[in-house]
Amino acid sequence: MTRTYWLEHAWLGTHVEPGVAMDVTDGRITAVRTGTETPPPGAEILRGLTLPGLANAHSHAFHRALRGTVQVGSGTFWTWREVMYATADRLTPDSYHALARAVYAEMALAGITAVGEFHYVHHAPGGTPYADPNAMGEALIAAAADAGIRITLLDTAYLSSGFGQPPNRHQLRFSDGTADAWAERCSVLKERDHARIGAAIHSVRAVPAEQLATVAGWAEERRAPLHVHLSEQTAENEACHEVHGCTPTQLLALHGVLGPRTTGVHNTHLTAEDISLIGGSGTGTCMCPTTERDLADGIGPAVALQNEGSPLSLGSDSHAVIDLLEEARAMELNERLRSRTRGHWTAAALLRAASADGHAALGWDDTGTLEAGARADFTTIALDSVRTAGPLPRLGAETAVFAATAADVRHTVVAGRHIVRDGAHQLVPDVPQALSRAVEALRS
Ligand SMILES: [Zn+2]
């Protein structure tokens, strides 16, 4: 069955086009007709600016339970991590499903149509596998289906606490023991229409060097995305130097982890040689600016990485906020503060990072553009809200990226199915209540 949408304004990758009719059949865009001033009879009318669906390339769904709580007091990434571990200790497959369903529904309300879930809470506390060893990963895949968005489950190898250190008591439930055991468990996971399976290396701290190639080989064999937290903290760089005499990036390069299907998350504290290795190998960079500023990580060299050939994507990571428009502008605004010059990325480039390049980093190559053949994933931003009213519609992309927030999302459509209509989630009736209940259940 073909459904026609009429877009009052559409972002076509280079410019805002007024009056666009778009046909969708079996979850894909089959025709895009410009110059359509009035809606065709029977068309679904989307007022505002329709963008390709946003891709949240880096998420830890359970961190959403920390919102607010971790803003009391001072500290560093490492003190924040203790609070985060206390929450991880309490997760069960049921409570994680309830929380992730609500968090993914919040994402849909923010125009996000695909999430990359960097998932490492695999086993019961203490490290005992569940009856289904993938019960936690399956809970996340089901949660995404229930919330109506796509997921790439980046199943994460997390085997050690530090270089040569066994997992600590919190980390026992993250560990499969060896990369081979990790691979065996992951190989059972099945892809579905809304779900892809990818791999992740938690960090060079968490996977011993001699086992990195096992994870990289697993991803290579399946042509699956491979993500890795990389140089988020200077302490990781120092420890890596001490043990291996090189940077984390050099270590990954040495063990065959870098390449076009690999994405380094954060890529914050890099040397010039690291930047060349990442860019030259086509390895992607996922920036998570709202988390990086929240955790006082620092500002990564995104401009230099992109110039060297690293495609950029964006993620809300710890979910201090869930707003990809904020992530996009924060990348540019951080660079302005550092360089005291403006215009490092255009709104078009920021939207590409927030959509097409983010989808590609998650293995959804045919998603993130409004053109025939692409998956019918899109979101509509109001241009008549208190934040967005005023600018000319042809500046809709600049307005959306630099002034709109997640609160301006009116519609979210995934695979041709309306998930958010007029700001209301169609599958999860009361998202704030679902969030409160799920977070309350995890409170100590
Ligand atoms: Zn992360």
CATH of the domain at 38: 2.30.40.10
225 vs 83 pLDDT, higher one? 225
- The whole-number average pLDDT for the span 388-413 is 98
CA 284–ligand 1 middle distance (angstroms):
15
Is 155 in the active site? no
Domain assignment present for 432: no
Residue 45 region, left (φ>0) first, then alpha (ψ -120 to 50), else beta?
Answer: beta
Mean pLDDT for the stretch of residues 14-26: 98
How far is it, in rounded angstroms, from Cα 299 to Cα 301?
A: 7
| Same domain flag for 295 and 357 | yes
Same domain, yes or no, for 120 and 215?
Answer: yes
Q: Domain end: 310, 326, 361, which one? A: 361
> Among residues of the chain, what percentage have pLDDT more than 70?
100
Q: Is residue 151 part of a domain?
A: yes
d(CA 147, CA 155): 20
From ligand 1's centre to the CA of 33, what distance in Å? 40
Q: Which residues pair with 381 in a beta bridge?
A: 49, 409
SS3 content of the chain, % helix, strand, coil (to 5): 40, 25, 40
| pLDDT at 164 (0 to 100) | 85
The answer to whether residue 17 sits within a structural domain is: yes
Average pLDDT over the chain reads 97
Interatomic CA distance for residues 320 and 47, integer angstroms: 30
Q: Which of 23, 176, 317, 357 is catalytic?
A: 317
Residues 314 and 376 in one domain: no
**Of 336, 361, 386, which residue constitutes the final position of a domain?**
361
In this structure, are 341 and 276 located in the same domain? yes
- Ligand 1 midpoint to CA 227 (Å): 10
Do 48 and 61 belong together in one domain?
no
Q: Same domain for 353 and 383?
A: no
| Rounded distance from Cα 202 to ligand 1 centre (Å) | 8
Chain segment 252-264, per-residue pLDDT in tens = 999 999 999 999 9
Domain span at 37: 2-52+368-425
Please compute the mean of the pLDDT values over residues 274-301 and round it to a whole number: 97
42 with 181, same domain: the answer is no
Q: What's the average model confidence in pLDDT over 55-63?
A: 97
* 281 CA → ligand 1 middle, Å: 22
In a domain, 442, yes or no: no
CATH code, domain carrying 281: 3.20.20.140
CA of 36 to the centre of ligand 1 (A): 43
Residue 385, sorted as left (phi over 0), alpha (psi -120 to 50) or beta, turns out to be: beta
DSSP-derived pairing of the beta strands 16-25 and 2-11: antiparallel
Report whether pLDDT(444) > 70: no
The pLDDT assigned to 81 comes to 87
Can you tell me which residue has the tokens 């959804």?
364
With respect to residue 225, please indicate whether it lies within any of the assigned structural domains: yes
Same domain, 89 and 193: yes
Report, as an integer, the average pLDDT of 371-385.
98
In the predicted model, what is the mean pLDDT of residues 276-292? 98
pTM exceeds 0.95 for this model: yes
Residue 410's alpha-carbon distances to 53, 164, 274, in angstroms, are 12, 50, 41
In a shared domain, residues 222 and 283: yes
For 156-214, how does the pLDDT look when each residue is reduced to its tens digit (9 = 90+)? 999 999 998 999 999 999 999 999 999 999 999 999 999 999 999 999 999 999 999 99
pLDDT band at 79; cut points 50, 70, 90: confident
Residue 154 lies in a domain: yes
Q: Which of 345, 361, 377 lies at the terminal end of a domain, its last residue?
A: 361
What is the pairing mode between strands 112-119 and 150-157?
A: parallel
pLDDT tens for 322-373 read 999 999 999 999 999 999 999 999 999 999 999 999 999 999 999 999 999 9
Q: DSSP secondary-structure letter at 229? A: E
Does residue 7 sit within a domain? yes
Out of 227, 266, 319, 411, which one is annotated catalytic? 266
Do the domain assignments include residue 198? yes
Look up 176 and say whether it is catalytic: no
Q: Which two tokens stand for residue 86?
A: 């206390």
Task: Determine if residue 164 is left, alpha or beta; phi over 0 gives left, psi from -120 to 50 gives alpha, anything else beta.
Answer: left
Question: Domain total for the chain?
Answer: 2
Per-residue pLDDT at 73? 81
**Whether residue 284 sits in one domain with residue 200:** yes
Residues 356, 358, 363, 367: is their CA dihedral positive or negative?
Answer: negative
Q: Report the range of poorest mean pLDDT among 40-49, 65-74, 229-238.
A: 65-74
